[in-house]
Amino acid sequence: MAIALTNLQIFNDQVRTSFLEEMDQRIDLFNAATRGAITLTSGDSAGDFTKDSLLQRISGLVDRRDPTDFTTSVSSLEIVELLHNTVKVGARALPVSVPPGLFDWVGSDPVAAGVRVGSQAAEDALADMLNTSIGACVGALLQEGTNVYDYSGTGVLTFGALNSGARTMGDAYDKVVCTVMHSKSWFDLVAANLTNAANLFTYGTVAVKSDPLGRPIIISDSASLIKTADTPDSYYSLGLVAGGIGIVRNNDFRSSLVEQTGKPNIIATLQSQWSFNLGMKGFYYNSTRGPTTAALKTGTNWTKISTSNKDLPGTLVKSQ
C-alpha cells in the first residue's frame, strides 16, 4: 500500500513530538548533572529580548556607630536598579528530503524515521545551545578581563591552574560549581593522574564528568574553547557559578513537510525551526536583534552591569 499523505503528516508530527520530549528529558538531566551552572528551561519569550530588573549590591551598607553620638549627620546610600536581559537566538534544522516512494520500496516505517530525525534534531539543538552560550561567555569574560587567568605561557591545564582561576574571585571562589573544558584539556588532567572521575551525564557530543572534589566537568569540543591563532593552540576552561548562564528553549518549534512533484520521484521536504533565549549573570547584551553566532561571541556586545567581579558568570583559564 502506498504511503498516504496522512502518514507523512504523522511523520511530521512524530518529528515534533520526539524533538520536544527528548529536549525536555535531557534538559532535566543536564541541569541536575551540572548543578545549575548552565540552566536550561522551557518558556515563551516574545520579541527580540526579555528584560528584567535587579537591585545592585549596595556597597558599604553596614558601618560602625557611636552610641554616644546624637548630632553627626549620616549620608544615605542609594538603591540602584540594574537592567538585565536575554537575547533571542533563532535556530533551525536544514531541509531534509523525505522520499515517500523509498519507504514503500523497502517497507520502512515513516513513523520510526520521524522519531530518529526528531531525536537527532534535539541532540544537535542541545549541543548548539551549549556551544553558543560557551562562546558568548568566553567572549564576555575575555573582554571584561578581571576573572581571567592566563596559564598558556606555562603549559597544559592543571588543577593548580584551575585553582588560580578560581582565586580571581577572591573569597567568592566557592561560588564556582562547574567547569566547562575541551576534551584536550580533560585528557591533560587525566594524564596528570586525575582520580575518582565519575561519568554523570552523556548526550551526543556533550559529556559531564566530575573532578576529585565532586564538581561537574562539562566536556565539549566547542570551537569557542580553542584559540587557533596562538602557537601552539590555546584552550579555554570556564569555571561557572550557579546560574552563570541561562538558556530558555522557547515553545515555538515549527516544522513543515511539503511534497514536490515534477521530478522522477515524488519528494517530501521537511524543514524545522525554533528559538532560544540566552542570558549571562552580570552582563547585558547590547547589540542589535537577530544575533549571529559571531555577534554573540563578540565580547564588546556584552556590557558588564555588575559592580563586582564576584557577581559575574565565573572565571576563565587559558592554557596550552
| This model's pTM is above 0.75 | yes
Q: Which residues share a beta bridge with 217?
A: 179, 209
Buried b (16+ CB within 10 A) or exposed e, 76-87: eeeeeeeebbbb
pLDDT of residue 147: 96
Task: Give the pLDDT of the chain (320 residues) as one tens digit per residue.
Answer: 444 455 677 778 888 888 888 887 777 777 877 888 988 888 777 667 676 655 556 667 787 787 887 788 877 766 555 567 889 999 998 888 877 776 677 666 767 777 888 888 888 888 899 899 999 999 999 999 999 999 999 999 988 898 899 999 999 988 999 999 999 998 898 777 655 455 554 555 556 666 666 778 888 888 999 999 999 999 999 999 999 999 999 989 988 888 888 888 888 888 899 999 999 999 999 877 668 999 999 999 999 998 889 999 999 999 99
Task: Give the C-alpha distances (Å, rounded to integers) separating 58 from 30, 80, 170, 174, 310.
Answer: 34, 8, 18, 21, 14
Q: Which residues share a beta bridge with 277?
A: 88, 248
Please tell me the distance from the alpha carbon of residue 144 to that of residue 312, in angstroms, as a whole number: 10
Buried b (16+ CB within 10 A) or exposed e, 11-24: bbebbbebbbebbe
pLDDT of residue 319: 96
Please tell me the distance from the alpha carbon of residue 162 to that of residue 147, in angstroms, as a whole number: 12
pLDDT of residue 202: 56
Q: Nearest CA to 16 among 114, 127, 126, 125?
A: 114
Contact, 232 vs 154, CB < 8 A? no
Total Cβ atoms within 10 A of residue 50? 17
pLDDT of residue 106: 64
Q: Which residues share a beta bridge with 90?
A: 275
Q: What are the sequence ranges of the domains in the chain?
A: 5-54+81-319
